[in-house]
A = this chain, B = another copy of it.
Amino acid sequence: MSDSLAMTIGAETKQSSPAGGASFSPLYQQIKQLLLRALDQGEWKPGESIPSEFELAARFQVSQGTVRKAVDELASENILIRRQGKGTFVSTHHEPHVRFRFLRLAATAGRTPPTKSQVLNCQRVRANAHAAQQLDLRVGESLVFIRRLLTFENVPTVIDDIYLPSFLFKGLTSSLLEAHQAVPLYGLFETEFGVSMVRAEEQIRAVAASSEVAELLAIKVESPLLRVDRTSYTYVDRPVELRVGHYLTDQYYYRNSLI
């Protein structure tokens, strides 16, 4: 197959704003979408480098400057990482910098504490209406359910309840999770299942600890906790994870920047 876009654009540029539709998009946006599709299909794996700007320009039959603009956007979204003199690399959750973006509890001055992770549960469940809607599945489809406890400096701090479409995570079991206890969960999803989380939306509330969660965190029932509802998305904006976290914020806080 040829990835050339020259024809497409040549034709598209000439029909300025067709009467019915609003379908035009600039060349660099089309390149960006092609790169995202290639990433989604695993053409370049997290941690690897992608071809040089000139190679991509030749492949897509556009100028290097146009590729550059597409890559610029992907780099600003933290999907690619440029390294001068070395190349452009696919982001990976195995790097602390990336993990930091998805684990927002900090103690002071942005320092994220060393973490211990324990899997408390891992089983198949059926999607309820909410999960099905969020994950773009049908009610009753099979999900992997994981409950885990994060401990910071010997203080049980986070309970995460995680829901994943089973068909994307075949073979995900307690023992697999335990075998990879050291790597971040999203790192494991990347390398074991080819699923890369690049974006998430969160809803944050203050709630009173249920007896169940209180027991797991070794706190009093009704203690105030942060409840964080997260939906995570991959390269092509497919939702692939639902997560409900309960955070104890006595010693840590959720950090956020408004820009």
Contact = CB atoms under 8 A, between A and B. Distances in A.
Interface of A: 76-78, 101-102, 104, 199-208, 222-226, 229-230, 247, 249, 253-259
B249 A202 contact: no
- The 10 A-B pairs at the shortest CB distance, nearest first, are namely A205-B249, A224-B224, A206-B224, A206-B206, A204-B254, A200-B258, A203-B253, A202-B256, A206-B226, A208-B224
8 contacts: A78-B259, A101-B258, A200-B257, A202-B255, A204-B255, A204-B256, A206-B206, A230-B258
A238 B204 CA distance: 28
Contacts of A225: 206, 224
| Count of chain copies | 2
Q: Which of A102, A207, A224, A253 has the most CB of B within 10 A?
A: A224
B259 A205 contact: no
A26 B39 CA distance: 31
**Could you say which of A200, A207, A258, A259 has the most chain B C-beta atoms within 10 Å of its C-beta?**
A258
